[in-house]
Structure 1
Amino acid sequence: MKASWCLLLACALSFASAMADGVPVRENGLVATWYAPVHKAPVVLVLGGSECGEKGGQFLAEHIASLGFGALSLAYCGVDGLSPAVKNIPLEYFGKAIDWIEKQPLTDKKHIGVYGVSVGGETALVVAARDKRITAVVAGAPSSVVWQGFDPANYGAVSPTYLLDGKPVPYLPYDMSQAFISILDLYQRSLNTLPQHPEAIIPVENINGPVLLLSGKADALWPSPAMSEQVIARLDAKHFRFAHEHIAYDNAGHVAPLPPSNNSALKTLSTLGGTEEGNTAARTDAWARTGSFFKKYLGNP
């Protein structure tokens, strides 16, 4: 299901760039990599996608750190005692990560952002909606809802993606009432059942700062453009007081929000939607917007 696509993405990200000087963090149950700023500066919590582990987040965090921000790449499943897959992930874990960020001497505590892509984009919105310490959000190819969890080792198992106080966070289940022709078809059909599961909607109106959403119109994994528009519509309806914007790129797919890279592995990701040219153009523009957004709303480091 989702995993086969994500494994392709994970493999590409694993070789996307040489590692910057990140420091492993293994404290209070955290599995993370810390990219410290050279002086006191805003910090961004960075979340990779459903490949779990650390590679995807590290790839993103390296780019954030290159702008002068501090960056904490946080693994949230798949490694070192964490949940083995995108399921049963305690939301308190992300709070612990923000606690850790605040304790670092070079952190500007009043300016902490979050940056996530794919399931990391979904998670970024979920985390920011419940933690006021996050004051700026960039979510790439995100979701407007909390989706059902999944485990490549047992696709038939039904689990929540997140837990809060040990209890399942309400989610939108997959619609398995009929065979699906693609992963995108499954997500689109399942999204149509949202009126029966309103509790799965992410309460994005609770976010304590500006929001930037980035997606590719040809996303072949899940309907991130439509879900991003749902987020914007909810923010508008709730009279959200902060800036919020969605940029959707023509001829670009699920990888549209990723930072640009010359690595040839990323060129194979057209199977996630879009053309090589469209994805390249989208990544270049999306990264420029990401940097400008964080510098504007967190402060220029």
Structure 2
Amino acid sequence: MNFKNLKLFLLIISTFILSTLSSPIISKRTNINEIKNLVNTKLFINNNLNNNNKANIEDFIDDLKDVFQNGMVNYIKLEQIFSDLFNITIVDPIENLIDSTNHKTFSVKKDGFYGELFEPENNRFPGKALILCTGSDGDFNMVRSLSKGLSNNGITVLGLGYFKVKGTPNVLTRIPLEYVEKAAKYLKSEGFEKIGMWGFSAGSVYALLSGVYFSDLLSLIVASSPGNYVFQGLGTLSFTQKKSAFSYKGKDIPYEPIGKIDVLKLIYLMIRDLEPNFLHVYEPGVTGASENHFIPVEKMKARLLIFSGEMDHCWPSDKASKAIMKRLKEKNYSYPYEHISCPYGGHVMTPFPTAMDIITKASRDYPEEEKKYRKQHLEKLLEAFEEW
């Protein structure tokens, strides 16, 4: 399916979509027939409709179910589904430049953390380094890609894998904050006087918490598409485990419980919006979480830079960002802090292209705006390094 056909499909079913948007779909359990009807209406109406259409719908739904297997979102598979749907080839030009064998590597067994060090040929900021992690995708290739991009701009980057890599948990549950502590102490031992951390999506929660718990080690925190509270089973959809997302020295960090999720509902919303939509899962906690479950950002001793997109439907990062800013103001936070909110930005607010871009409407529909946001992101980050 290409964009031209998609526009025609959307025109044909505009009335249907409007009624869907106003329906109480997220107040009741979704059934498989509702999903089949939506797929049939939104994705498979064309001039070549044939007897195989039913099979196509069921295959498509089965593929989406596979995305949510074992209570986890398989973002790599999701990227491929959206790539096929829109006839777009996923190309990550930065990742293709990377030869990871040229970088110093670290293991949990030997060093206490998993990662790779990217040292720039032209170091613009001697004595300063950045720890970088991504979100609930758990894809270390994305870590490498972004780390290489920043390294090419003169920043020393330690790309950190905190789950789904060797020696770490396989799911985003009870992730030790000590990985960051070990990584920061290594950088200190190598002569880096100032250490910052950049985190995206779920990784932004990891970065903010690290800024709180390791305030004497981290003096710059960059949160991209952040959350503002800790919640149960971060990154999972089953939510049956009575465990928190993160732990420090074996003790669970207090978290906001989230009930069992209707996976069919998430599939329905994904097809309806043509992107992942978890807003109804996480939005209530932005203002309604228990006080001890909010990230106590005021305990950091770091310059803070936040990026969010107003079109982020994966989770309410823009509202969470504003809540963080409000909290810092109310707590009279004494370090510099800034929030850059992008009107046409989606969930993937990164300074360089990523394979994940394909899954969000903002990235697909507003590519020129996205280029501007990426440029702004990089410029703000470099500016922060200059002033830091």
**Residue in structure 1 matching 2:106, options 17, 21, 25:** 25
Relative to the length of structure 2, the TM-score reads 0.67
Q: CA deviation at 1:8?
A: 6.0
Paired with 1:187 and 1:149, the residues of 2 have a C-alpha distance of 12
Identity of aligned residues (%): 22
Q: Which structure: greater strand fraction?
A: 1
Query: Is contact 2:205-2:229 (8 Å) kept?
Result: yes
Q: Corresponding residue for 2:283? A: 188
Letter in 1 for 2:346: G
Paired residues of 2:239 and 2:258 also in contact (CA < 8 A): no
For residue 219 of structure 1, what is the aligned residue in structure 2? 312
The root-mean-square deviation of aligned C-alpha atoms, in Å, is 2.8
Secondary structure of 1:145's partner? coil
2:387 equivalent in structure 1: 296
Shift of 1:115: 0.8
Once the 2 structures are TM-superposed, how far is the Cα of residue 165 of structure 1 from its aligned partner? 2.3
**Aligned counterpart, 2:118:** 35
Distance 2:387 2:178 in 1: 29
Q: How far did residue 190 of structure 1 move?
A: 4.1
Equivalent residue number for residue 122 of structure 1: 205
Q: Deviations along 1:98-140, whole A, 9 cap, x unmatched? A: 1111122xx432x111111111111111101111211111110
- For residue 295 of structure 1, what is the amino acid of its counterpart? E
Q: Could you tell me which residue of structure 2 aligns to residue 89 of structure 1?
A: 175
Cα 1:10–1:76 change in 2 (3 A) is farther
User: CA separation in 1, counterparts of 2:362 and 2:174?
Assistant: 26
- Code of the residue aligned with 1:95 in structure 2: it is E
What is the distance in 2 between the residues matched to 1:166 and 1:241?
Answer: 31
Further displaced range: 176-185 or 211-220: 176-185
Deviation at 1:269, TM superposition (A): 3.3
Q: Does 1 or 2 have the higher relative contact order (CA < 8 Å, sep 6+)?
A: 1
1:58 match? 144
* Residues 250-289 of structure 1: pairs in structure 2 closer than 5 A: 250-255=343-348, 257-261=349-353, 265=355, 268-271=358-361, 275-289=366-380
- Is residue 2:228 matched to residue 1:148? no
Kindly indicate which of the two structures has a greater share of residues assigned to helix.
2
- Give CA deviations for 1:173-194 in whole Å, capped at 9, x if unaligned: 2244987754122111344531
- How many angstroms apart in 1 are the aligned matches of 2:382 and 2:235? 33
Counterpart Cα distance in 2 of 1:57 and 1:157: 27
User: 1-side partners of 2:166 and 2:226: how far apart?
Assistant: 26
Q: Which 5+ residue runs of structure 1 have no aligned equivalent?
A: none
Provide the rounded CA distance (Å) in 1 between the counterparts of 2:358 and 2:338.
29
1:86 Cα deviation after fit: 0.8
Partner of 1:49: 135
- Within 2, Cα distance between the matches of 1:85 and 1:153? 11
Structure 2: gaps spanning 5 or more residues: 1-67, 81-89, 270-276
Residue 137 of structure 1 corresponds to 221
Please give the per-residue CA displacement for 1:252-293, whole angstroms capped at 9, x wherever unaligned.
1001x21233x7x46523347763333232222222212212
Structure 2 counterpart SS, 1:57 = helix
SS at 2:308 equivalent = strand
3-state secondary structure, aligned to 1:134: coil
Residue number in structure 2 paired with 1:247: 340
Secondary structure in 2 aligned to 1:232? helix
Size of the alignment, in residue pairs? 289
Alpha carbons of structure 1 residues 9 and 230: separation in structure 2 relative to 1, 3 Å: farther
Is 1:102 matched up with 2:188? yes
Query: Is the contact made by 2:233 and 2:244 (CA closer than 8 Å) also made in structure 1?
Result: yes
Q: Give me the whole-angstrom Cα distance separating, in 2, the residues matched to 1:121 and 1:10.
A: 21
Distance 1:199-1:7 versus aligned 2 partners, 3 A rule: farther
1:212 maps to a residue whose letter is L
Q: 1:13 to 1:95 in 2, by over 3 A?
A: farther
